[in-house]
Structure 1
Protein backbone atom coordinates (compact mmCIF):
# COMPACT_ATOMS: atom_id res chain seq x y z
CA UNK A 1 0.00 0.00 0.00
CA UNK A 2 0.99 3.58 -0.58
CA UNK A 3 -0.02 6.10 2.05
CA UNK A 4 -0.07 9.38 0.09
CA UNK A 5 0.01 12.46 2.31
CA UNK A 6 -1.31 15.35 0.25
CA UNK A 7 -2.12 18.91 1.26
CA UNK A 8 -0.57 22.27 0.73
CA UNK A 9 2.96 23.27 1.60
CA UNK A 10 3.11 23.87 5.35
CA UNK A 11 0.30 21.49 6.32
CA UNK A 12 2.72 19.08 8.00
CA UNK A 13 3.22 16.32 5.42
CA UNK A 14 6.96 15.90 5.85
CA UNK A 15 6.84 16.10 9.63
CA UNK A 16 3.91 13.70 9.79
CA UNK A 17 5.57 11.22 7.44
CA UNK A 18 8.70 11.14 9.63
CA UNK A 19 6.55 10.47 12.70
CA UNK A 20 4.32 7.95 10.88
CA UNK A 21 7.11 5.75 9.52
CA UNK A 22 8.12 4.19 12.88
CA UNK A 23 4.44 3.50 13.66
CA UNK A 24 3.99 1.33 10.56
CA UNK A 25 6.38 -1.65 10.71
CA UNK A 26 8.33 -2.20 7.52
CA UNK A 27 7.31 1.14 6.05
CA UNK A 28 9.56 3.53 4.14
CA UNK A 29 9.20 7.21 3.23
CA UNK A 30 9.60 8.29 -0.40
CA UNK A 31 9.34 12.01 -1.10
CA UNK A 32 8.27 12.40 -4.74
CA UNK A 33 9.81 15.86 -4.67
CA UNK A 34 13.17 14.11 -5.08
CA UNK A 35 12.00 12.91 -8.51
CA UNK A 36 11.35 16.54 -9.39
CA UNK A 37 14.80 17.49 -8.13
CA UNK A 38 16.35 14.92 -10.47
CA UNK A 39 14.50 16.52 -13.38
CA UNK A 40 15.60 19.99 -12.27
CA UNK A 41 19.22 18.82 -12.49
CA UNK A 42 18.99 17.98 -16.19
CA UNK A 43 21.41 20.17 -18.12
CA UNK A 44 21.03 22.48 -19.94
CA UNK A 45 17.52 22.18 -18.53
CA UNK A 46 13.95 21.29 -19.32
CA UNK A 47 11.47 23.96 -20.46
CA UNK A 48 11.02 26.74 -17.92
CA UNK A 49 8.16 26.20 -15.47
CA UNK A 50 7.19 27.37 -12.00
CA UNK A 51 6.63 23.78 -10.82
CA UNK A 52 8.35 20.55 -11.88
CA UNK A 53 5.00 18.75 -11.70
CA UNK A 54 4.15 20.43 -15.01
CA UNK A 55 6.92 18.50 -16.75
CA UNK A 56 5.34 15.48 -18.45
CA UNK A 57 8.03 13.03 -17.27
CA UNK A 58 7.48 13.80 -13.58
CA UNK A 59 4.22 11.92 -13.10
CA UNK A 60 5.17 8.61 -14.77
CA UNK A 61 8.57 8.74 -13.07
CA UNK A 62 6.84 9.14 -9.70
CA UNK A 63 4.65 6.13 -10.49
CA UNK A 64 7.57 4.02 -11.67
CA UNK A 65 9.78 5.03 -8.74
CA UNK A 66 7.00 4.31 -6.26
CA UNK A 67 6.26 0.94 -7.87
CA UNK A 68 9.89 -0.13 -7.87
CA UNK A 69 10.49 0.97 -4.27
CA UNK A 70 7.18 -0.56 -3.15
CA UNK A 71 8.10 -3.88 -4.76
CA UNK A 72 11.62 -3.72 -3.37
CA UNK A 73 10.62 -3.13 0.26
CA UNK A 74 7.98 -5.86 -0.09
CA UNK A 75 5.45 -5.71 2.66
CA UNK A 76 5.32 -2.47 4.57
CA UNK A 77 3.57 0.60 3.29
CA UNK A 78 5.34 3.26 1.28
CA UNK A 79 4.63 6.69 2.77
CA UNK A 80 4.68 9.48 0.18
CA UNK A 81 4.38 13.10 1.37
CA UNK A 82 3.71 15.18 -1.74
CA UNK A 83 1.46 18.06 -2.63
CA UNK A 84 -0.54 17.41 -5.80
CA UNK A 85 -3.13 20.10 -6.46
CA UNK A 86 -3.82 19.54 -10.15
CA UNK A 87 -6.58 16.97 -10.50
CA UNK A 88 -5.36 15.66 -13.87
CA UNK A 89 -1.92 15.04 -12.38
CA UNK A 90 -3.40 13.15 -9.44
CA UNK A 91 -5.55 11.06 -11.80
CA UNK A 92 -2.48 10.17 -13.86
CA UNK A 93 -0.51 9.11 -10.78
CA UNK A 94 -3.45 7.22 -9.31
CA UNK A 95 -4.14 5.38 -12.59
CA UNK A 96 -0.47 4.51 -12.96
CA UNK A 97 -0.33 2.97 -9.51
CA UNK A 98 -3.64 1.17 -10.05
CA UNK A 99 -2.22 -0.37 -13.24
CA UNK A 100 0.36 -2.05 -10.98
CA UNK A 101 -2.34 -3.10 -8.48
CA UNK A 102 -0.86 -0.93 -5.76
CA UNK A 103 -3.55 0.34 -3.41
CA UNK A 104 -3.31 3.99 -2.43
CA UNK A 105 -4.61 5.50 0.79
CA UNK A 106 -4.95 9.17 -0.19
CA UNK A 107 -5.00 11.52 2.79
CA UNK A 108 -5.09 15.30 2.77
CA UNK A 109 -3.60 17.13 5.71
CA UNK A 110 -5.70 20.26 5.92
CA UNK A 111 -4.96 23.40 7.89
CA UNK A 112 -7.10 26.53 8.05
CA UNK A 113 -5.91 29.65 6.23
CA UNK A 114 -4.70 31.80 9.14
CA UNK A 115 -2.84 28.89 10.75
CA UNK A 116 -1.28 27.97 7.41
CA UNK A 117 -0.01 31.50 6.83
CA UNK A 118 1.41 31.55 10.36
CA UNK A 119 3.18 28.20 9.84
CA UNK A 120 4.72 29.32 6.57
CA UNK A 121 5.75 32.71 7.94
CA UNK A 122 7.31 31.23 11.09
CA UNK A 123 8.82 27.98 9.77
CA UNK A 124 11.98 27.43 11.81
CA UNK A 125 13.67 25.28 9.16
CA UNK A 126 12.77 27.04 5.91
CA UNK A 127 11.83 30.50 7.07
CA UNK A 128 9.12 32.42 5.20
CA UNK A 129 8.71 30.88 1.76
CA UNK A 130 7.47 32.73 -1.30
CA UNK A 131 7.02 29.36 -3.04
CA UNK A 132 4.77 28.05 -0.25
CA UNK A 133 2.75 31.25 -0.12
CA UNK A 134 2.22 31.03 -3.89
CA UNK A 135 0.21 27.80 -3.43
CA UNK A 136 -2.16 28.89 -0.66
CA UNK A 137 -4.89 29.93 -3.12
CA UNK A 138 -4.33 26.93 -5.40
CA UNK A 139 -4.77 24.64 -2.41
CA UNK A 140 -7.96 26.42 -1.33
CA UNK A 141 -9.37 26.03 -4.84
CA UNK A 142 -8.46 22.32 -5.06
CA UNK A 143 -9.79 21.71 -1.54
CA UNK A 144 -13.13 23.34 -2.39
CA UNK A 145 -13.34 21.15 -5.48
CA UNK A 146 -11.94 17.75 -6.25
CA UNK A 147 -9.29 17.30 -3.54
CA UNK A 148 -11.47 17.06 -0.44
CA UNK A 149 -13.96 14.85 -2.29
CA UNK A 150 -11.18 12.54 -3.47
CA UNK A 151 -9.26 11.95 -0.25
CA UNK A 152 -9.63 11.40 3.45
CA UNK A 153 -9.22 14.83 5.04
CA UNK A 154 -7.45 15.22 8.35
CA UNK A 155 -7.63 18.68 9.88
CA UNK A 156 -4.19 19.43 11.31
CA UNK A 157 -5.01 23.00 12.35
CA UNK A 158 -4.86 22.36 16.07
CA UNK A 159 -3.67 18.74 16.20
CA UNK A 160 0.01 18.02 16.83
CA UNK A 161 1.78 16.11 14.08
CA UNK A 162 2.47 13.17 16.43
CA UNK A 163 -1.28 12.76 16.99
CA UNK A 164 -1.98 13.04 13.26
CA UNK A 165 0.60 10.30 12.65
CA UNK A 166 -1.04 8.08 15.28
CA UNK A 167 -4.47 8.60 13.69
CA UNK A 168 -3.15 7.65 10.28
CA UNK A 169 -1.26 4.63 11.61
CA UNK A 170 -4.37 3.41 13.43
CA UNK A 171 -6.47 3.77 10.28
CA UNK A 172 -3.91 2.01 8.07
CA UNK A 173 -3.50 -0.87 10.56
CA UNK A 174 -7.28 -1.21 10.80
CA UNK A 175 -7.37 -1.82 7.03
CA UNK A 176 -4.85 -4.69 7.24
Structure 2
Protein backbone atom coordinates (compact mmCIF):
# COMPACT_ATOMS: atom_id res chain seq x y z
CA UNK A 1 0.00 0.00 0.00
CA UNK A 2 1.16 3.52 -0.80
CA UNK A 3 -0.23 5.99 1.72
CA UNK A 4 -0.06 9.46 0.16
CA UNK A 5 -0.51 12.14 2.83
CA UNK A 6 -1.61 15.27 1.00
CA UNK A 7 -2.77 18.69 2.11
CA UNK A 8 -1.62 22.28 2.45
CA UNK A 9 1.91 23.10 3.50
CA UNK A 10 1.86 23.22 7.30
CA UNK A 11 -1.25 21.04 7.67
CA UNK A 12 0.61 18.27 9.52
CA UNK A 13 1.67 15.73 6.91
CA UNK A 14 5.14 15.22 8.40
CA UNK A 15 3.79 15.01 11.96
CA UNK A 16 1.17 12.46 10.91
CA UNK A 17 3.82 10.44 9.05
CA UNK A 18 5.95 10.38 12.22
CA UNK A 19 2.99 9.20 14.33
CA UNK A 20 2.17 6.49 11.80
CA UNK A 21 5.78 5.25 11.87
CA UNK A 22 5.74 5.20 15.68
CA UNK A 23 2.65 3.01 15.55
CA UNK A 24 3.78 0.91 12.59
CA UNK A 25 7.62 1.02 12.52
CA UNK A 26 7.96 -1.10 9.38
CA UNK A 27 6.44 1.66 7.21
CA UNK A 28 8.87 3.05 4.67
CA UNK A 29 9.03 6.84 4.39
CA UNK A 30 9.53 8.34 0.95
CA UNK A 31 9.76 12.12 0.61
CA UNK A 32 9.44 13.30 -3.02
CA UNK A 33 10.77 16.70 -1.96
CA UNK A 34 14.23 15.10 -1.92
CA UNK A 35 13.82 14.36 -5.63
CA UNK A 36 12.76 17.99 -6.07
CA UNK A 37 16.03 19.14 -4.50
CA UNK A 38 17.98 16.95 -6.93
CA UNK A 39 15.97 17.99 -9.99
CA UNK A 40 16.46 21.69 -9.18
CA UNK A 41 20.23 21.20 -9.44
CA UNK A 42 20.05 19.32 -12.75
CA UNK A 43 17.69 21.17 -15.07
CA UNK A 44 16.40 24.73 -15.57
CA UNK A 45 13.65 25.78 -13.19
CA UNK A 46 10.04 25.68 -14.28
CA UNK A 47 8.71 29.17 -15.09
CA UNK A 48 6.52 28.88 -11.98
CA UNK A 49 9.54 28.14 -9.78
CA UNK A 50 7.79 24.95 -8.55
CA UNK A 51 9.67 21.74 -9.31
CA UNK A 52 6.35 19.86 -9.40
CA UNK A 53 5.76 21.58 -12.74
CA UNK A 54 8.75 19.73 -14.18
CA UNK A 55 7.79 16.44 -15.87
CA UNK A 56 11.18 15.12 -14.73
CA UNK A 57 10.18 15.46 -11.05
CA UNK A 58 6.88 13.68 -11.57
CA UNK A 59 8.48 10.92 -13.62
CA UNK A 60 11.30 10.39 -11.14
CA UNK A 61 8.84 10.35 -8.22
CA UNK A 62 6.69 7.67 -9.85
CA UNK A 63 9.74 5.66 -10.93
CA UNK A 64 11.21 5.78 -7.43
CA UNK A 65 7.99 4.49 -5.88
CA UNK A 66 7.79 1.66 -8.43
CA UNK A 67 11.43 0.73 -7.74
CA UNK A 68 10.90 0.81 -3.98
CA UNK A 69 7.89 -1.47 -4.41
CA UNK A 70 9.93 -3.93 -6.50
CA UNK A 71 12.36 -4.44 -3.64
CA UNK A 72 10.28 -3.90 -0.49
CA UNK A 73 6.84 -5.18 0.45
CA UNK A 74 6.17 -2.75 3.32
CA UNK A 75 3.64 0.03 3.08
CA UNK A 76 5.15 3.30 1.86
CA UNK A 77 4.29 6.69 3.39
CA UNK A 78 4.49 9.68 1.05
CA UNK A 79 3.94 13.05 2.79
CA UNK A 80 3.68 15.48 -0.11
CA UNK A 81 1.42 18.35 -1.08
CA UNK A 82 0.01 17.66 -4.54
CA UNK A 83 -2.93 19.81 -5.62
CA UNK A 84 -2.88 19.94 -9.43
CA UNK A 85 -5.60 17.60 -10.80
CA UNK A 86 -3.36 16.64 -13.74
CA UNK A 87 -0.44 15.80 -11.45
CA UNK A 88 -2.71 13.86 -9.08
CA UNK A 89 -3.87 11.75 -12.00
CA UNK A 90 -0.35 11.38 -13.37
CA UNK A 91 1.12 10.23 -10.07
CA UNK A 92 -1.66 8.62 -8.01
CA UNK A 93 -3.70 7.50 -11.00
CA UNK A 94 -0.55 6.24 -12.71
CA UNK A 95 0.43 4.21 -9.65
CA UNK A 96 -3.04 2.71 -9.48
CA UNK A 97 -2.98 1.88 -13.20
CA UNK A 98 0.27 -0.02 -12.50
CA UNK A 99 -1.59 -2.11 -9.93
CA UNK A 100 -0.55 -0.27 -6.76
CA UNK A 101 -2.97 0.11 -3.89
CA UNK A 102 -3.03 3.80 -2.97
CA UNK A 103 -4.65 5.34 0.09
CA UNK A 104 -4.90 9.06 -0.63
CA UNK A 105 -5.43 11.15 2.51
CA UNK A 106 -6.01 14.90 2.27
CA UNK A 107 -5.48 16.91 5.44
CA UNK A 108 -7.83 19.82 5.91
CA UNK A 109 -7.50 22.66 8.39
CA UNK A 110 -9.04 26.04 9.16
CA UNK A 111 -7.26 28.83 7.26
CA UNK A 112 -6.47 30.93 10.34
CA UNK A 113 -5.00 27.91 12.16
CA UNK A 114 -2.94 27.00 9.10
CA UNK A 115 -1.55 30.51 8.70
CA UNK A 116 -0.63 30.60 12.40
CA UNK A 117 1.17 27.24 12.11
CA UNK A 118 3.15 28.40 9.10
CA UNK A 119 4.11 31.64 10.86
CA UNK A 120 5.48 29.66 13.83
CA UNK A 121 7.33 26.95 11.88
CA UNK A 122 11.08 27.01 11.54
CA UNK A 123 11.97 25.28 8.30
CA UNK A 124 15.57 26.42 7.87
CA UNK A 125 18.28 27.54 10.26
CA UNK A 126 19.17 30.48 8.02
CA UNK A 127 16.75 33.28 8.94
CA UNK A 128 16.47 34.74 5.43
CA UNK A 129 15.86 31.31 3.89
CA UNK A 130 13.29 30.51 6.55
CA UNK A 131 11.44 33.74 5.72
CA UNK A 132 11.47 32.92 1.98
CA UNK A 133 10.05 29.45 2.68
CA UNK A 134 7.43 30.84 5.06
CA UNK A 135 6.37 33.54 2.58
CA UNK A 136 6.11 30.97 -0.23
CA UNK A 137 4.02 28.65 1.95
CA UNK A 138 1.73 31.49 3.00
CA UNK A 139 1.25 32.43 -0.66
CA UNK A 140 0.09 28.83 -1.35
CA UNK A 141 -2.56 28.68 1.41
CA UNK A 142 -5.60 29.65 -0.66
CA UNK A 143 -4.64 27.42 -3.60
CA UNK A 144 -4.00 24.43 -1.34
CA UNK A 145 -7.15 24.86 0.75
CA UNK A 146 -9.27 25.23 -2.39
CA UNK A 147 -7.82 21.97 -3.74
CA UNK A 148 -9.99 20.01 -1.28
CA UNK A 149 -12.86 20.47 -3.73
CA UNK A 150 -11.00 18.86 -6.64
CA UNK A 151 -9.50 15.82 -4.94
CA UNK A 152 -10.08 12.58 -6.83
CA UNK A 153 -12.75 10.05 -5.90
CA UNK A 154 -11.71 7.82 -3.05
CA UNK A 155 -9.75 10.53 -1.24
CA UNK A 156 -10.10 10.35 2.55
CA UNK A 157 -10.24 13.64 4.45
CA UNK A 158 -8.91 14.39 7.94
CA UNK A 159 -9.16 17.72 9.79
CA UNK A 160 -5.83 18.29 11.53
CA UNK A 161 -7.16 21.26 13.44
CA UNK A 162 -9.82 19.17 15.20
CA UNK A 163 -7.97 15.95 16.08
CA UNK A 164 -4.59 15.18 17.61
CA UNK A 165 -1.93 13.47 15.48
CA UNK A 166 -2.53 10.29 17.52
CA UNK A 167 -6.26 10.27 16.68
CA UNK A 168 -5.49 10.97 13.02
CA UNK A 169 -2.98 8.08 12.95
CA UNK A 170 -5.65 5.79 14.45
CA UNK A 171 -8.03 6.76 11.65
CA UNK A 172 -5.46 6.11 8.91
CA UNK A 173 -4.49 2.76 10.39
CA UNK A 174 -8.18 1.88 10.65
CA UNK A 175 -8.62 2.66 6.98
CA UNK A 176 -5.79 0.27 6.15
CA UNK A 177 -7.62 -2.60 7.83
CA UNK A 178 -6.09 -5.69 9.36
CA UNK A 179 -4.94 -7.10 6.02
CA UNK A 180 -3.34 -3.85 4.83
CA UNK A 181 -6.03 -3.19 2.24
CA UNK A 182 -8.56 -0.41 2.36
CA UNK A 183 -11.89 -1.86 3.50
CA UNK A 184 -14.65 -0.89 1.09
CA UNK A 185 -17.28 1.46 2.43
CA UNK A 186 -15.30 2.62 5.45
CA UNK A 187 -15.06 6.27 6.43
TM over 0.5: yes
- Conserved? CA contact 2:45–2:51, under 8 Å: no
Which residues of 2 match residues 81-100 of structure 1 at below 5 A? 81-100=79-98
Task: Provide the residue aligned with 1:108 in structure 2.
Answer: 106
Q: Are the aligned partners of 1:60 and 1:96 in contact in 2 as well (CA < 8 Å)?
A: no
RMSD: 2.0
Counterparts of 1:10 and 1:46, CA distance in 2? 24
Equivalent position of 1:120 in the other structure: 118
Identify the residue that residue 2 of structure 2 maps to in structure 1: 2
Match of 1:153 in 2: 157
- Summarize the Cα distance change of 1:141–1:73 in structure 2 as closer, same or farther, 3 Å threshold: same
CA contact under 8 A between 2:46 and 2:53: conserved in structure 1? no
Aligned to 1:80, the other structure's residue is in SS state: strand
Q: Select between 85-94 and 159-168 the one with higher mean Cα deviation.
A: 159-168
Give how far 1:69 is off: 1.1
Residue 165 (structure 1) aligned with residue 163 (structure 2): no
Instruction: Report if aligned partners of 1:3, 1:77 keep a CA contact under 8 Å in 2.
Output: yes
Report what 1:32 is aligned to.
32
> 2:139: which partner in 1?
134
Q: TM-score, normalised by structure 2?
A: 0.84
Asked whether the equivalents of residues 3 and 105 of structure 1 are also in contact (C-alpha less than 8 Å), the reply is yes
Instruction: Give the aligned partner of residue 22 of structure 1.
Output: 22
In 2, Cα distance between the equivalents of 1:149 and 1:161?
Answer: 24
Q: Secondary structure at the match of 2:38?
A: helix
Superposition deviation, residue 141 in structure 1: 2.2
> Number of residue pairs matched?
173
TM-score (structure 1 length as normaliser): 0.89
Instruction: State the partner residue of 1:65.
Output: 64
SS of the aligned residue for 1:41 comes to helix
Matches of 2:97 and 2:117, distance apart in 1: 37
Unaligned runs of 5+ in 2: 125-129, 181-187
> Which segments of 5 or more consecutive residues in structure 1 lack a partner in the other structure?
none
Asked whether the 8 Å contact 1:108–1:148 carries over to 2, the reply is no
Cα shift at 1:70: 2.1
- Whether the 8 Å CA contact 2:8–2:144 is kept in 1: the answer is yes
Note if contact 1:5-1:107 (Cα within 8 Å) is conserved in structure 2. yes
